[in-house]
Every structure is written in structure tokens, then in C-alpha cells.
Amino acid sequence: MENEIIYSTVVFSKKDGAPEKKKDPTVDPKGKPEEAPNAPDGKEAACSRFAALLACSGTLCVLLTASVTVVVYLGSVMKEQEANLSRLNAEKQLLLEEMSILSSVTHHLNWTLGVIMHYHAFPVVDFCPDKKCQPCRKYWVLFQEKCYLFPPGEQPPWNTWEDSRRFCQNAAADLVVIDNLQELEFISNHTKFYHDQYHGYWLGLRKVEDTNWVWVDGRNYTVGSRLTKDIGTSLRCGLMVPERKPSASWSPADCYMRNKFICEADALIRSDL
């Protein structure tokens, strides 16, 4: 019997915990060693740095352009805001001027209303001929904010002080009260001599309590002109004698003496409007 050759295969199993053989990175699976990467030469490094510089320069240009754009935009916004502020200030000034005008008009209207309220029946035709109102009635003379009536002519009848005042009051006025030297000069320029040196124009001035001279509006006599004569018991009313120096033209007179007179009333329309 021929001898038979028997082959057997022996397989060794890997035991737990046995270290695995690490793969050599320089060896590929086919058993060939891998080639290590070549280090960049000097020319490639310079090109890389130049590219980086170009990228940085581009970034800086973009940032600079953006900054300039922002500055220009902010400048235009500020100019627009300044223009708006200037326009608002101009509008504010215009409004203030309009308010001042409105306040002045309101004040003048209140003045006119106050003058009208002095009359029981306002003489529209006298003040407003042809539907256009005037500061003073016909024959009255305007000075500052007052109207004055100087009776025309040189012939009597003339009136006592009381009758003269009553005449003025019936015309919604009163005998003249002189407030300052300018008014005194104005009245002196509108009066003239008549009859004799003892006759003149009654003023709204009279003596009370034997010592004090008081205007018809209740104020004490304070104007610079002095009464030129000694005050007797019957000389209790103030008289202006024409053609004397204004500061010495006033004289005390008997209230029952008949003289011309001067009426004074507020102007219907303020002359300073």
C-alpha cells in the first residue's frame, strides 16, 4: 500500500489584547514606501507671501473705500441737518414776528373797543366817513394817542369851567389833562390870543382842599409850568393864556369866568400801529 501524504492547515487565532501592528505611513498597501511631501522652494514661498499681501491690500482698500463713503454720507447728513436747523430757526423767527404783530393788533383792537365803550351811542358817521375809520372826529386834532378839540372862532358865547367840562363830557371827552412838556408845547401851538390878556382856555385842572391842584383824572398837578398868580379864594380853576411862554402860561382863574376850552379824548385808532 502506497504511503499517502496528508496536508493539514493550521490556523492560529489572534488572542485578545495582542497589539496590532501599526501601519507604516511610508508604506502603501502594496508594500511600497510612500514618498514624503516635498518642502516648498523659495520661489513658491515668495509667491505665497505676495498673494497674502495682495489680499491684505485689497481688504484695506475695501475698508478705506467704505470709510470714505461713510464720512461723505455723514457729511451730507450733517449739511442737511444744518439746512433744516437754519430753516427751522427762520420759521421760528417768522412766527415770533407774526406773534408780535398779532399781539400788537390785539392790543390796538382792545384799545379801540375801550374807546367805543365810552359812548352811549358811538358816532360811526363822525369817525368813519365813507366807511373808513379815522383816529379822530371831524374838527378834532390828533397828537400821539389823543384827539383835541379847539373851539373855533373868537366870538362868544364862551363857557364857565363847569359848563366847558360838561360840553366835553357830552362828546365822550373831558377837559384837557397835560401829561408832559411835549403835549404842553403842542397845545400852545394850537391856541392863540383872543379878546384880552385875561382870557384863555380852560384846562382840566382845579384847586381842591385850598392847597392842592388836581387834574380831572385824579392826578396831582406835576407839570413844570407854575401858576403865575397868587391863588385867591375864588381862583380855583386852571386857565391857559395864549402867547405866553408855555412854562409860564397857566393862571388861576375864577371858575365862573367865561372862556374858551380844550377837550381831549382817546384816539379811536392808535397812531403807532
92 plus 130 within the same structural domain: no
* pLDDT band at 40; cut points 50, 70, 90: low
Output phi, psi for 94, to 5 deg: -65, -40
pLDDT score recorded for residue 1: 46
Strand, helix or coil at 212?
strand
- Does 256 map to a domain? yes
Q: Where are the beta strands (DSSP E) in 85-150?
A: 140-143, 146-149
Q: Is 194 found in the same domain as 163? A: yes
Contacts for 28-33 with beta carbons within 8 Å, 24 or more apart? none
For residue 47, give the nearest of 38, 37, 55 by alpha carbon. Answer: 55
Element (H, E) at 265: strand 263-266
How many independent structural domains does the chain possess? Answer: 2
Same domain for 131 and 234? Answer: yes
Contact 243, 193 (CB under 8 A): yes
Task: Let me know whether 261 and 235 are in one domain.
Answer: yes
256 and 140 belong to one structural domain:
yes
Residue-wise burial string across 202-212, b where 16 or more C-beta atoms lie within 10 A, e elsewhere: bbbbbbeeeee
How many other C-beta atoms lie within 10 A of the C-beta of residue 5? 5
Residue 33, φ and ψ in degrees, nearest 5: -70, 140
- Same domain, yes or no: 134 and 237: yes
List pLDDT tens digits, range 228-259: 444 455 788 999 988 766 666 788 899 999 99
**Residues forming beta bridges with residue 266, ordered by sequence position:** 146
Closest listed residue to residue 265, CA positions, set 132, 162, 126, 131: 126
Distance CA 115, CA 165 (A): 19
> pLDDT at position 28, please?
52
Q: In this predicted structure, what is the pLDDT of residue 141?
A: 94
Do 211 and 230 share a domain, yes or no? yes
What's the chain's length in residues? 273
The answer to whether the beta carbons of residues 259 and 159 sit under 8 Å apart is yes
Given 117, 135, 159, the domain boundary residue is 117
* Residue 231 burial (10 A CB sphere; 0-12, 13-18, 19+): middle
Query: Are residue 88 and residue 189 in the same domain, yes or no?
Result: no
Domain of 101 in residue numbering reads as 49-117
**Is position 81 within any domain?**
yes
Q: Residue 77 domain-assigned? A: yes
Same domain, 252 and 133: yes
* Residue 37 grid coordinates: 511631501
Residue 29 φ then ψ, to 5°: -65, -25
* Confidence label for 8 from pLDDT (cuts 50, 70 and 90): low
Q: Are 61 and 95 within one domain?
A: yes
* Claim: this prediction has a pTM higher than 0.85: no
Q: Same domain, yes or no, for 88 and 201? A: no
Residue 85 CA neighbour count, 13 Å, CB half: 6
Q: Is residue 202 part of a domain?
A: yes
Higher pLDDT, 19 or 222: 222
Final residue before a domain boundary, out of 117, 140, 164:
117
Report yes or no on 41 lying in a domain.
no
Q: How confident is the model at residue 79 (pLDDT cuts 50, 70, 90)?
A: confident
Give the CATH number of the domain where residue 196 resides.
3.10.100.10
